[in-house]
Structure 1
């Protein structure tokens, strides 16, 4: 089942997206219940938004072995976690704003997990019961600032610029996250070609680890890490993250002066 959040006629709704492009509008948030309202919208008539408004976002570093190798890091012995501010989240076709002082901004295509119910001290064997669904994500990163922060053992601003977490376009609720093909394109050229089977820590392990230390809440996002092939982007580029069974997340990069004008 594909769930979409969208706007139409000045209001926002959730719906179930069918293969025919019709959206069965829901009465409430899908985290509460999947009750159709009886109203039908068409995909062509709406603007698709990020799956949830300003969620908590957990990020993973070095969670694909090949990516660790390409950046000269050893395989981590525990999940390398950071958080992205909720204001980083944007939806499909929204603009990634290139920082005015940006020098080396990278894309990172990622499978993103959305938590469906409160989770604390969850075992790996039970972890997937707490998942609402999966979507595409792009962990946009300022490498210069990231490296400067990392020298002091922290990581926030290099990952935390507004618009640095495109998420979407839909949430797929019925999919196995352990073997999904992921492709990232820049201006139509394939830059990343990976599979979630290569994750160092898979989705169950990540949920179990996080819930050991903190309560995961409905709507929380876990960006599971990026395959090898990350690279720079610039204003004017179009980034596409495609994950089999989910869809394509597409965003264009613009200069900050364009965003302010």
Structure 2
């Protein structure tokens, strides 16, 4: 039974967590990776020894890359929480590729889990259990730890939000000075990863949508996120949630 959310991505079967990890590694690398093999491919490739039977597994094609670039792919994958190694033709019946297993994936096959254990012991994940030959320093990194390290801090706890500004924002579009800043503070708080009520694309209204309409819609999304009464206003329920994060609400 799968515990991760499975998807088809770039023509390969994976789960959402693995896809997010690969995309994060691509951002570090400033390059798109060519996927050779994904996950949930039971018996698909005998040379994989069952590591791709479950989730969290991915192979990257690096045949056309220079040696230094191959190592850079391994490093980027390790940085975001993969146990990753460069596999060479001298090691087995396969071309140059990077083999990666997402540490702490809930759907790992037994053989993939053993490779992660080898990685933690600084080994190469092969049958010979040789010494790890990749970039050191990331052996205990996970996707969750990487995300936490990249999450910006919330605003200073003494940040102040004006209730008058919030009432004005629900009916007016042009807001400058401190009141305009307060409107942006509220939306930025709601879009912060530690809150997760909005996404960054919702910090400003789409083209053709008035600011006050957008603000009320976002208030409804925040209320729904916290299971509050749906008012479309910055009401006491929303204010109470912001206070939990250290904000001060004034008249």
Superposition TM-score, scaled by structure 2 size: 0.21
Larger strand fraction of residues: 1
Tell me which of the two structures has the higher relative contact order, counting C-alpha pairs closer than 8 angstroms and 6 or more residues apart: 1
Larger Rg: 2
